[in-house]
């Protein structure tokens, strides 16, 4: 029980320390429940996206079509909402996301081209399809269709998605196969696993979470615009870094919670930069610094532990000598 409490404290210490520092610097802007709630809701969509890309990432796949697929699925769902309301939005986003995942996975499976190359080509195609679908414009939802973006429905969606990801990641053979393929494909083949089939499945399973993210993104903004010229590529960066942070603190925190903690911490930093009146381009700088700090500290965790142990032994020996 004591170890569990310690692990929870270590995992939560990152966002708590960050928020405490910013609270001291700008208490008038961040010292309210509303500011925390804003940071929370800004973390929901990136967290769900991170859940969607985690399986492919663990399998060694680099997929840059994430943002374009979310946008294209959202545009299709938005068009269906005109005729079928909220159910049309949800079904349209989910089905189109899954179909796009199947198409992307199938092209990668049959072409045998590196995933990075495939994803860049499909990224441009999906962006063009989205732009053609709405003639380069956007689709706007009526206020009654954005209910999922409001409290408490947004929290319920996040909780439900977290539980779904937790069950899939920790209690399915698919997840175990994904991690084995990512760590050593040769061993995976020797035990009867088909690596390409597993990688194809990561696209399909991941697209379920991307469909949910598309629905939530639409409900938050109230509109969805087509993106071209690789603009949709930026959608993957924050979820990807949140995923890396989640994997880094995995020894002290389950991945679904670690991902959320990572993204929540990033949003605290970004909110602080805005509150301090600093230039927006410092977001990328702080993002890189924060990532380096977390990865360095956690990767050196054993060295730090060994150093502390040696220091305790040294202090104990010095006390004995004094006696």
What averages of pLDDT result for each successive group of 10 residues across the chain (323 residues)?
A: 68 82 78 82 94 91 91 92 90 95 94 88 92 84 86 93 95 90 85 90 95 93 85 86 86 89 88 74 68 62 56 55 54
The set of residues, in sequence order, having a beta carbon less than 8 Å from that of 117 and lying 6+ positions away, is none
**What are the CA-CA distances from residue 317 to residues 53, 255, 295, 320, 322 (Å)?**
50, 40, 33, 5, 9
Instruction: Report the alpha-carbon distance of residue 293 to residue 311 in Å, rounded.
Output: 23
Rounded Cα gap, residues 247 and 48, in angstroms:
15
pTM of the model: 0.87
Q: What is the pLDDT of residue 281?
A: 67
At 144, list the tokens. 């009654």
Tokens 């198409």 correspond to 103
d(CA 113, CA 182): 17
Q: What is the pLDDT of residue 71?
A: 93
Total Cβ atoms within 10 A of residue 212? 27
pLDDT at 138 (0 to 100): 83
Q: List Cβ neighbours of 69 (8 Å cut-off, separation of 6 or more).
A: 97, 100, 101, 104, 126, 207, 210
Rg of the Cα trace of the chain? 22
Q: Is 225 exposed, middle or buried (0-12, 13-18, 19+ CB in 10 A)?
A: middle
CA-CA distance, 100 to 123, in Å (whole number)?
11
Decide if 192 contacts 119 (C-beta within 8 A). Answer: no
């Amino acid at each position: 029980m004591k170890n569990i409490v310690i692990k929870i404290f270590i995992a939560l210490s990152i966002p708590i320390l960050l928020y405490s520092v910013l609270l001291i610097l700008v208490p008038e802007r961040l010292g309210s429940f509303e500011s925390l709630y804003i940071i929370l809701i800004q973390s929901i969509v990136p967290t769900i996206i991170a859940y969607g890309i985690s399986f492919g990432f663990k399998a060694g796949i680099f997929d840059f079509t994430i943002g374009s697929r979310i946008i294209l699925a959202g545009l299709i769902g938005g068009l269906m909402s005109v005729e079928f309301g909220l159910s049309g939005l949800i079904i349209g986003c989910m089905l189109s996301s899954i179909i796009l995942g199947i198409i992307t996975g199938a092209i990668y499976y049959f072409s045998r081209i590196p995933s990075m190359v495939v994803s860049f080509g499909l990224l441009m195609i999906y962006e063009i399809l989205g732009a053609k679908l709405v003639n380069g414009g956007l689709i706007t939802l009526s206020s009654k269709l954005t209910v999922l973006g409001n409290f408490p429905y947004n929290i319920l969606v996040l909780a439900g998605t977290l539980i779904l990801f937790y069950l899939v990641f920790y209690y399915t053979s698919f997840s175990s196969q994904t991690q084995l393929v990512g760590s050593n494909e040769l061993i995976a083949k020797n035990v009867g696993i088909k690596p390409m089939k597993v990688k194809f499945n990561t696209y399909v399973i991941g697209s379920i979470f991307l469909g949910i993210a598309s629905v939530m993104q639409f409900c938050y903004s109230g509109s969805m615009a087509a993106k071209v010229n690789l603009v949709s590529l930026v959608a993957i960066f924050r979820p990807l870094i949140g995923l890396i942070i989640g994997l880094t603190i995995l020894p002290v925190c389950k991945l679904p919670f670690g991902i959320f903690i990572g993204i929540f911490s990033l949003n605290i930093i970004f909110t602080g930069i805005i509150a301090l009146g600093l230039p927006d381009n410092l977001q990328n700088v702080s993002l890189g610094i924060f990532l380096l700090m977390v990865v360095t500290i956690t990767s050196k965790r054993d060295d730090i532990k060994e150093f502390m142990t040696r220091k305790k032994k040294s202090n104990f020996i010095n006390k004995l000598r004094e006696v």
